[in-house]
Amino acid sequence: MPFRIHSHANGSHTLVDEENGQAMHSRIGPRLEANLVYAARARIEERLSAAPDYTLYDVGLGTGSNVTATLDRIRATPAARGRLRIFSFETKPDGLGAALANLGDFPELADWAGPLEDLFRKSAADFRVGDVDVEWRLLVGDFYARMSEAPPPDDLFFDFYSPKIVPELWSYSAFARIREKIGERDARLFTYSAATPVRVHLFAAGFFVGAGVSTGVKSETTIAATRPGLLESPLSKEWLRKLETSASVAGPRFDELKIRVLNHPQWKLHSAN
Ligand SMILES: C[S@@+](CC[C@H](N)C(=O)[O-])C[C@H]1O[C@@H](n2cnc3c(N)ncnc32)[C@H](O)[C@@H]1O
């Protein structure tokens, strides 16, 4: 199997990709991470109640934990209704296959085993959760190559391996492509990384950027949005000091990107408030 199961001290499990040695989840495990960083922050179940047609990009499907944590919340919310379209992107869907073959280690997936099996075998799962029609599609291959096949998103769960390992997936030009895809819509991007270069690239690509909660492993995570009103905790000007002090931000285009960040409308909003 190209994936091996790794046990965490808290009793949870994750998959390690044998090819690159990367674990899919931090030591808090898939379910806690999925809730803290993605499902409980995005509260898609509330959005569905208010605007009943929603498109979610699940970028880096892995075991499907981020989506199934969201489905759990929808199931527990009777007011949720309408249509949820989910587009999961994944280069190695065998990770999902490995999780499905070891449901004892991923018990929180068990309730959704039917849709997950459909997704794994047919790249499509259509089902109902309460009053919500879910259309879940798997686009196998590189996210940036296949993104054009999906309609623009309302939310993105952005969960690639670390930006230190795959910086090209977290680059300025990568986020600029996502920002362009979103266009005039309201949209949010949730990710576990709070790395300064990641936030620089998000700002430079035109997103407003805020802090997400601590996971215990990360003291902060990140939520980016197309409008400041979509953020609960927008970064304040204090954060700009990181541009001076963080050695990690240096890069070939840093001077150009820094000017974009310093001129970002987020800082004007703060001084106006
Ligand atoms: C951190 S794991 C995601 C964990 C997952 N969200 C979950 O709920 O279990 C990152 C995933 O991104 C996938 N991946 C890596 N590069 C990719 C790319 N360019 N496009 C799409 N998926 C990619 C990996 O194969 C891996 O499954």
Q: Is residue 14 part of a domain?
A: no
- Tell me the pairing of strands 124-129 and 131-140: antiparallel
Residue 139's φ and ψ, nearest 5 degrees, are -105, 105
What pLDDT is recorded for position 153?
Answer: 98
Q: Is residue 264 part of a domain?
A: yes
**Beta-sheet strand order (sheet of 124-129):** 124-129, 131-140, 81-90, 53-59, 155-158, 188-191, 221-225, 208-212
Q: Is residue 230 part of a domain?
A: yes
Q: Is residue 2 part of a domain?
A: no
What pLDDT is recorded for position 52?
Answer: 80
Q: Which mutation among 160, 168, 217 tests ligand 1's pocket best, with the greatest number of atoms within 8 A of CB?
A: 160
Number of structural domains in the chain:
1
Q: Is residue 21 part of a domain?
A: no
Q: Distance of CA 214 to CAs 69, 106, 141, 157, Å?
A: 18, 23, 31, 16
Q: Is residue 100 part of a domain?
A: yes
What pLDDT is recorded for position 273?
Answer: 41
The reply to whether ligand 1 has any atom less than 6 angstroms from the CB of 146 is no
What are the tens digits of pLDDT across the range 120-176?
A: 999 999 999 999 999 999 999 999 999 999 999 999 999 999 999 999 999 999 999
CA of 208 to the centre of ligand 1 (A): 24
Domain containing residue 33: 27-272
CA of 255 to the centre of ligand 1 (A): 30
The reply to whether ligand 1 has any atom less than 6 angstroms from the CB of 102 is no
The reply to whether ligand 1 has any atom less than 6 angstroms from the CB of 65 is yes
Q: What is the pTM of this model?
A: 0.96
Q: Which mutation among 16, 20, 91 tests ligand 1's pocket best, with the greatest number of atoms within 8 A of CB?
A: 91
What pLDDT is recorded for position 215?
Answer: 73
Q: Is residue 159 part of a domain?
A: yes
Q: Is residue 20 part of a domain?
A: no
Q: Domain with 236 in it: what CATH number?
A: 3.40.50.150
**Residue ranges of the chain with pLDDT lower than 50?**
272-273
